Structures are given as structure tokens and as C-alpha cells.
Amino acid sequence: MRRKYSVGRSLELYERALHCIPGGTHLFGRRAELAAYGVSPIYSDRQQGGHFWDVDGSEYIDLLMGSGAVILGHAYPTVVEAVQEQAARGTGLTLNHPMEVDLAELLVEVVPCAEMVRFCKGGGEANTIAVRIARGATGRDKIIFCGYHGWHDWYLAANLADEVALNEHLMPGISPTGVPRVLQGTALSFEYNNLGSLQAVLEANQGEVAAVIMEAARSSLPEPGFLQGVRELTERHGVVLIFDEVVTGFRLALGGAQEYFGVLPDMATYAKTLSNGFALGAVVGKREVMEPARDMFISSVYWAEATGLAAGLASVRAMRDVNPSATVWALGKHFMNSMNQLAERLELPFTCAGLPPFPFIRFTHENAKLNQELTTLYIQEMARRGVFAYTVNYFCFEHSQRDLYDVLEAVGETFDVIAKALQCGDVKSFLECPVRQADFRRLV
Ligand SMILES: Cc1ncc(COP(=O)(O)O)c(C=O)c1O
């Protein structure tokens, strides 16, 4: 049912933020202009299970779940207890904390390629460490990538030579401003599901490539033989293969994409689900690649800080016990099928695709501008019905069947509005907000 949710307090805060925080937020995806500005909530100070409450006091079903970081549920009891207990005992920065050994051993147990582990605080950081280790272990400089891997210089350097290199992996319009020009030519991309494109880059840079880093799956499934082909090519060229499991880790399966697809990389990187919303990242890998890190200066005070480790240990143990991957597969599958059926019945230019643990929605009209208007209308109407929905959808272990029912009811009503808007030929007249400014679409 459509309700009038006020977001006045959110808008006030955002206005203040724009004056003192460049860009207004610390995660690009949280910029208010990417949602239905003036309708979507922008600030939330309480989250529980699969819901959050915004600063104006309204409750929403959360379909973004911390950009996929929270897989068990917001404020999951055993994780919160572990963090609270450890916080009261100190953050453990003078000496090493025993939990860093316990958690490293646990990851070695559950992640197929893991023989050694290093911790850090986030996904982009984990990838930067993995790239440094691969460069150090091979003595080579160039990195070939496919997917989104964070904000660091090694990755954004791809756009120094050609400002469109990241379009298909991150988003269009990324300027490498501030990235040293001397890095030009050190980060090279290849196309997902196109082994020939990887082979061509490897052959053109024979003997110079340290690593291939990739998301094993994102909005598309790998075609049969693709990941195996990547493994064979990297082995043939003596190149370290890194899977970025920041999204796929613990979500596709407990052992991540490498377990689900049965292809073993040399290294893998984790963050997000690893600690269910608390700050922790990890680089794992085979002993022969990881051990040289002993002689590289890769070091930071907060990486093995004890509340993050406590969150990681409690989260991995809980994930081993309750298997949230099975829940998010089932909820995601139901969501995808129902959405596609509803859209088909109304003949909407729409698809919900990708993998059930993180399905994407996409309007598919031949007019790209109209698709942005329709996406904005979708986000607006879902928000008006108490569902915080975006283009990517993440369920969690604590989303209930009731939540799914409420989400699908909101989708049904939203699609009726969209059908009416398309019929009348003026989608913009249905918007109570500006058309969203950009897309955070990833095509891998
Ligand atoms: C696949 C992937 N790698 C890396 C990152 C960057 O992680 P963080 O934002 O923790 O630096 C993200 C974030 O969305 C991601 O999806």
C-alpha cells in the first residue's frame, strides 16, 4: 500500500553533508542522486534483521543489505555479542590477538584455495594487498582485470590510457584524476565470458603480467568452460589468478565462487559478508604465492584489530552453522521468477537477471533515457511502499517469507504504476523526484 513517507530529516542532513563532505557520502553507491532524490531515505540510524528505520522514523524492508555486506541479518545476535564482548576487553592493538590465528585457521578450513591468510579492513584494500603480493611474488608489474575491484590507484590506472576502460567493469565516466600517469598501461581489462580477449592481452604482454584478478560471476553466469579456460591460460603464462570474492564469498556457497564453480584460484579476496557488516577484509591464497609477503612491507595497525576479528569469527561460525547461502538462493530465485512473470503479464520492458543470491533488475526499452526514468519510478514507488529497492538486490538469512510476500506485493503495485506511466507516454509526469543521475550498473 502506498504511503507518504517523509524524508525531511534525511534531506536536511544531506544538505549539511554536501557542505562538509566532498561528494556527500563515503560510498559512491550511497549518493542520494542515484536513488529517488526527495523520496528515498538517505540516512538510517537503526537496522535489524532484514529491515532498517530511517532518521525520519519510517521502517523499510532492506533489499540492499549494506551493499551485500550483511548476509546473516542486520545486528545478528551472535555477531553483536562477540563484538560487544571484545570491545569491553579492548581492541588489542599492543600485542597480537589470538583471534587472528583462530580466524585464519577457520578460513583455511572453509575456503578451498586458502593455505595462508592476511587481514585488512575492506574489499578494495584486500585487492590492493593481493595485487602487491602477486607483483612481489612474480617480479612483474602488469595486472589484467575483469570486474569491479575498488578505488585504488592500481585499478583506476586502467582509465589513464583510455577513459572508457572501466565502463564495462565499474561504470561510465570514471576519471582517473589523481592517479599517477606513470601507471598508464599497468592495468589492462578483458571481457567477461570471452577467453579470446584474455588470451590476446596475455600474449601482447608476455612475461610482464603479475596477475589476473576477476569477479568469477557478477550479473552473468560464466559460460561452460570459461573459468576453467581462465585457469588454464593463467597457468600457461605463469600468472597468479585472483578471484575477487567480495560479493560472491559465503553468498554463492560457504566456500564462495571457487567452491560453487569448482575452479581453484591462487588467491582470493574477501570483505563484506566475511564479518556481516563490521569492518574486516581478508586476502587468502596458496602458500607459494602468499609466503613471499613475509618479505614485503604490507602492514597496518588496524588490520587485525580485535572487534573486526571477533565479528569475522562469529560471522563465519554462524554462516557454517545456519548456511545463509541456501536462504538467499531460495529467496532470490522466488523474487526473480515472480518479478519476471509479473513484468511479462504486463508486457513491461523489464528483466530481473543474474544469479539468485544477487539478482539485478533492468529496464530494457530501446530508449536508454526512458530506462533511467523507469528505474527511478521503480525505486520511488517501492520506497513509497516501504521497500528500499535498488538495481541490485541482496536478501539475507533473516528476511522472512512475510518480507518476501510484502516485497512482491509492492512490486505488483509498482509495476501497475509503471504500466500506466508507459501507456500514458509521459513517465516523467509520474516522478516526484528528478531522474536518477547515474547508474552503478556492473556488467560482469
Ligand atoms: C567485487 C567487489 N570488489 C571490491 C569492492 C570494494 O570493496 P570496499 O568497498 O570494501 O573497498 C566491492 C564493493 O562493492 C566489490 O563489489
The residue among 101, 46, 103 whose CA lies nearest residue 75 is: 46
Put simply, whether the predicted model's pTM sits higher than 0.75 gets the answer: yes
Same domain, yes or no, for 45 and 110? no
List, by residue number, the catalytic residues: 148, 244, 272
- The CATH number covering residue 331 comes to 3.90.1150.10
pLDDT (tens digit per residue) in 210-255: 999 999 998 888 999 999 999 999 999 999 999 999 999 999 999 9
> Across 55-155, where does the E strand assignment appear?
59-62, 116-120, 142-146
Same domain, yes or no, for 187 and 228? yes
Could you give the CA distance from residue 278 to residue 261 in angstroms, rounded to a whole number? 27
Same domain, yes or no, for 55 and 81? no
Burial of 88-126, coded b for 16+ CB within 10 Å and e otherwise, reads eeebbeeeebebbeebbebbeebbbbbebbbbbbbbbbb
Asked if pLDDT for residue 403 goes beyond 70, the answer is yes
- The CATH number covering residue 145 comes to 3.40.640.10
Same domain, yes or no, for 215 and 307? yes
**Residue-range definition of the domain harbouring residue 398:** 8-62+323-430
Asked if pLDDT for residue 262 goes beyond 60, the answer is yes
Same domain, yes or no, for 181 and 106? yes
Residue 250 belongs to a domain:
yes
**How many separate domains does the chain show?**
2
pLDDT (tens digit per residue) in 359-388: 999 999 999 999 999 999 999 999 999 999
Same domain, yes or no, for 281 and 345? no
Same domain, yes or no, for 40 and 105? no
Query: For atom 8 of ligand 1, which residue has the closest CA?
Result: 123
Same domain, yes or no, for 263 and 295? yes
Could you give the CA distance from residue 128 to residue 216 in angstroms, rounded to a whole number? 18
Same domain, yes or no, for 138 and 252? yes
List ligand 1's pocket residues with C-beta within 6 A: 67, 122-124, 127, 147-150, 215, 244, 246-247, 271
Residue 246 and residue 169 in contact, taking contact as beta carbons nearer than 8 Å: no
Query: For atom 7 of ligand 1, which residue has the closest CA?
Result: 123
Same domain, yes or no, for 103 and 139? yes
Residue 248 and residue 256 in contact, taking contact as beta carbons nearer than 8 Å: yes
pLDDT of residue 444: 32
Give the mean pLDDT of 184-199: 97
User: What is the Å distance from ligand 1's center to 150 Cα?
Assistant: 5
Domain boundary residue, one of 265, 293, 322: 322
SS3 351: strand
pLDDT (tens digit per residue) in 56-115: 999 999 999 999 999 999 999 999 999 999 999 999 999 999 999 999 999 999 999 999
Domain boundary residue, one of 322, 338, 353: 322
Asked if pLDDT for residue 443 goes beyond 50, the answer is no
Point out the ligand 1 atom lying closest to the alpha carbon of residue 122. Answer: 10
User: What is the Å distance from ligand 1's center to 61 Cα?
Assistant: 23
Asked if pLDDT for residue 442 goes beyond 50, the answer is no
